[in-house]
Chain A
Amino acid sequence: MKYEPILLARIHKPNSHQLEGYRADGGYAAIEQALVDKKPADVIAQVKDAGLRGRGGAGFPTGLKWTFLPKDHPGPIYLCVNADESEPCTYNNRILMEKDPHQVLEGIMLACYAIRSEKAFFYVRYEYGTAYRALEAAIAELYAAGLLGKNIFGSDFHLDIVLHRGAGAYICGEETGLIESLEGKRAWPRIKPPFPAIEGAFRKPTIVNNVETMACVTQIMRRGIDWFKSLGVPPDPKNPRDAGSYGPKLYTIAGHVEKPVCVELPMGVSLRELVEVHGGGVWKGRKAKAVNPGGLSMGFVDVLAPLKGEDGKTEYDIPLDFNGPGKVGCLGLGTAAVTVIDDQTSMVDVLHNVTQFFSHESCGQCTPCREGTGWMLKIMERFRRGLGRREDLDILVDVADRIGIIPGTTICGLSDGAGWPVKTAIRKFRSEFEEAIRKGEPSRYAKPLQMVGAH
């Protein structure tokens, strides 16, 4: 049976971004209702019981995060909406903001009501001009209609939403980097503890949530727990710490596919189905070689590698829920952005591109990340000149293994994300790198970009 999109239900409607249409489709009824018959704690409970996990990358249970705020805090408490969306090939937030901003804004209102916040900061990736303007217009519509500001729907709930244009760096999406950037500083992620829920923006308790998470909140409050839990994958009974992967998810498909697209599906669709069915298959009639299951940071899936214990299946068949990518050595679901690499593409070039991205985006605070990402790039540049050495592979894996919050050597997760694609590429496609070393041929592609002067 074909799945009917919920989060993306309105995006093809004319003027889907306007308040009038959104209200005509039942918009803002959930918040209006909640203000009448729900206490903030009830909203938290509903989100928590629905099993919503954050869509920003880490998959942290949203309702649980909200309960980390200090009890009976005199305020202010802030919500930061993370729309920095800079993970390569990820564009689901953008679609929501451009095409259905009110669905997100209603989620923000519900979340703020739940966490007793009267101010939300909407941090929008600098490059997202269209999204920014759509949100600007939508927020203006809300103020004009009296749905933002004081005494919303005649209740004693007040809310202001401050739109903030980002500083143009990947690291601005890391939640404490975002907060620093919002405060007007370099987006250098903070050391934790204290976590933002205790001390965040402007030293006040702060919740950071992703745009898609906010849209899910709207739908959970509108359609209820049962609807949300009817979609997705229940917790793995063998893993007591698994919180399950419920609800719909926006998958973005990009790279070497016929039809790059953002699709909404229940959590747990297989990688193969996503690419072959929803993405129209690999382009130019070629075959897939490697796939990023959730943005570059998550590492690579080897399309042909057999899946252990599952006869006839390969890594291509993993389900894209919060647990699936981990089963094949990837970091996690990440942003559920699927990037396909076809069998004509050299992994040396791919990895060069990857290391270039992370060394450019490392904020540079932590020695292991700053120097590690730079070193990996230099090695890959040399590979592209045909001068790779066998020992470089060991160095790359060593460096990739040792940087990150998982080994404990850095402040934020960017460096885990910088290491994962490197080590998965080399571990899974080692023979291709060895072949490149043997042949010693330079890459067919252009010289690397000059990025020294970038901010």
Chain B
Amino acid sequence: MSRLTKLISLAALLVAPSMATAAEVNVVSWGGAYTESQKLGYGDPYQEMSGVQVNWIDYSGGLSEIKAQVESGAITWDIIDVYARDTIIGCDEGLFVEFDFDNDFPAGVNGMKASDDFFAPMPSDCAVGNILYSWNYAYNTDNINFDGNYPDSMEDFFNPDKYPGVRSIYSSAMSNLEFALVADGVPASEVYDYMEDNGIDRALDKLTDLCTNPKGGCIFWSAGAQPPEQLVSGEAIMATGWNGRHFNAIVNEGSPMKMVWDGQILDYEYFVLVKGGPNQEEAMKALQYFTSSEGLAGSAKHIAYAPFRISSLDVIMADEPWFYSEQAGAVEIMPHMPTAPANTENYVLMNPEWYADNNTEINDAWEAWKANL
């Protein structure tokens, strides 16, 4: 980093109004209904309990912003809600704090030590689990193109001849490659084995068929709130997305939508603590609360994502109907979880290592594909 940029950042710091009065923590997440669930579930309670102000900042994923902050020496983020892939890359590059897991995080309310209470091992030393969510797709039930005949598989999503209409898909490669392979007949559990072996090309070919079919066509979403909006506005007839966002649109907004649970990708979401963040110590304490049994259970009160701790599920099940919103009232949430038995009949388990190791190749192939569409 050049001295010039340092000087500029210093100037920016001097100009910025000093707000060092009360302790605060800056948490970065994906916005919309998801951030709302985090704020209501553990952000606000923690703020009330500790007197530390929790500020929520929206972003759309990726490490570029935090890398830029580190490069310029003006780090403003403390905690980031990230994909597993990014915990690995960021940890390797020294962006995040490495945890001593069982010391840093409290045991569950069931007495299990943290590393046992969390469903799965962490993908890197810098990650602490947050939720399990699914990438799946939903469709607009009011769309006249269906004519009473609705899709129920990943294959249907990729079949514009049967279900004509524009599809909305994620603007990066993640999820799209998996969906395409499943639709192309690859067993859900073997998707990543195929990826190593020419699978990217195969997936992109499948996507080309969908996106260039005059009856199909693709538009791209980059923020989680977009897919339901595009479905409701009629821009897309089907849209991939995050199950919690679809659920929110259906339950809280009464949107005419239905999710399809086939070939969905079950994925873990994590928190990381930025190394050298402006409030690193306060942030660690906040993070401990966020990821406690009650904390994680708290967010599930407001969105259909499964808490990462087994003990949190116990908390929820003991108190069903757990979900509550003004529009929908109290709702039993367990059947809507991405981990519910009915929702895990044929699913892909996200492989973050594959993404972390092959990030550049995947992105290059994806961007070239998109540009030549």
- To the question of whether A and B form a pair in one complex, the answer is no
Which residues in B have some Cβ–Cβ distance to A below 8 Å? none
